[in-house]
Structure 1
Amino acid sequence: MKQEVTVTPDPVDARLGARLVELRTERGWSLGELAERSGVSKSTLSRAERAETSPTAALLNRLCGVYGRTMSQLLSEVEAEPAPVLRAAEQPVWEDLASGFVRRSVSPPHGALRGELVEGRLAPGADIAYDRPPVPGLEQHIWMLEGRLGVTADGVEHVLDTGDCLRLRVWGPTRFRCAGPREARYVLAVVRP
């Protein structure tokens, strides 16, 4: 009687397989459709996605071509999981002295996740206009912690006071302005489409 041996996949191969599944399902493709597009057999694709085999550079190159990614981009998306906690002292802060805007990246960085939290601070009188979103269709939730903030999107201004929350999807120009005599401090939750 043969004894069955359970093999634990390499952690990088497991993350890579999971990312390959995500890329395929994001496009709504079956394994058969991906096989046609890539010229790689369904069984080979299935084994790579289940981390039953370590994909070759040639296989990854073909898949990167289909998904419109460089190999280094794909591999960076599956590097070891970053730390789940980013301590306050380690959160990157960027300041635009000219506009009176301070931005703190609160969320631990993670290239494969779509959401992040940012703390924004606008000095009294600060007014920032963006001509377009970094990613069209970006979802934003703006929750006021202190002060008053005017947010203009799609030609409509929303004035937010402490505790208010605005949810919007950004397709065009936006404007953020401190609408009160004190600093406006808010949490911005950003979700990529």
Structure 2
Amino acid sequence: MRHEDPDPVDARLGARLSALRAQHGWSLDELAERSGVSRSTLSRTERAETSATAAVLNRLCHVYGRTMSQLLSEVEAEPAPVVRAEGQRVWADRASGFVRRAVSPPHPALRGELVEGRLSPGADIAYDRPPVPGLEQHLWVLSGALDVTDAGTEHRLATGDCLRMRVFGPTRFRCAGPDEARYVLAVVRP
């Protein structure tokens, strides 16, 4: 059997389709039932072992509520391999004392990303649910101290500590102070 590298566009499209299925929490069997596309075709398409036909993409776009143009625009270009510090997006929630820097090159087909977080002393942020159930997070404290609550368990983290979580429910991040907490969060979609 001859093994060739998959076409780069097919590989990005397969990864994006796999990510969309994971975001919806569907198995291959569930997606096959919803789309009318066989499980084997879906699996081979997600692994870039075959190129999706227009008919298959149309069925999948219908299930995911996207136009074909939207889906294809998500996979047209490779993500930038380097994002310089000045090009990294920074978002601040001044009311809560939280600053978030998107360190990784942004791209919807990527499963992992790095985020730098900073919490001011006294900051207390609670999330009622993860954006994607089963999200894997590795939180590494670079400076200061951070209290993180996941699944009802509180973790006190000091400089250099690292916490791994699979997030299915509420989480809470608190900086009791007296110094700012600065950390790296590695996020991996299921």
Aligned residue in 1 for 2:50: 50
Aligned residue in 1 for 2:36: 37
1:86, distance to aligned residue in structure 2 (A)? 0.7
Query: Are 1:60 and 2:40 matched, yes or no?
Result: no
Aligned AA (1:154):
A
Change (3 A) 1:84 1:177: same
1:76, distance to aligned residue in structure 2 (A)? 2.8
8 Å CA contact 2:121–2:179 kept in 1: the answer is: yes
Query: Are 1:75 and 2:72 matched, yes or no?
Result: yes
1:192, distance to aligned residue in structure 2 (A)? 1.1
Change (3 A) 1:49 1:134: same
TM-score by length of 1: 0.74
Q: 2:165 aligns with which of 155, 161, 168?
A: 168
RMSD, matched Cα? 3.2
- Farther off after superposition, 171-180 or 97-106: 171-180
1:183, distance to aligned residue in structure 2 (A)? 0.4
Aligned AA (2:37):
S
Supply the distance in 1 between the matched residues of 2:96 and 2:107 (Cα, whole angstroms): 28
Q: What aligned pairs does 1:2-13 form with structure 2 within 5 A after superposition?
A: 12=9
Supply the distance in 1 between the matched residues of 2:112 and 2:178 (Cα, whole angstroms): 31
Q: 1:95 aligns with which of 72, 92, 95?
A: 92
Aligned residue in 2 for 1:152: 149
Aligned residue in 2 for 1:112: 109
Change (3 A) 1:12 1:136: closer
Query: Are 1:136 and 2:133 matched, yes or no?
Result: yes
Q: How many residues get paired? A: 171
8 Å CA contact 1:159–1:179 kept in 2: the answer is: no
Supply the distance in 1 between the matched residues of 2:70 and 2:78 (Cα, whole angstroms): 15
8 Å CA contact 1:21–1:49 kept in 2: the answer is: no
8 Å CA contact 2:99–2:117 kept in 1: the answer is: yes
8 Å CA contact 1:14–1:50 kept in 2: the answer is: no
Change (3 A) 1:15 1:166: closer
Supply the distance in 1 between the matched residues of 2:179 and 2:16 (Cα, whole angstroms): 48
Change (3 A) 1:82 1:172: same
Supply the distance in 2 between the matched residues of 1:141 and 1:13 (Cα, whole angstroms): 30
Supply the distance in 1 between the matched residues of 2:168 and 2:11 (Cα, whole angstroms): 36
1:20, distance to aligned residue in structure 2 (A)? 8.1
Aligned residue in 2 for 1:185: 182
Give the SS at the match of 2:125. strand
1:180, distance to aligned residue in structure 2 (A)? 2.6
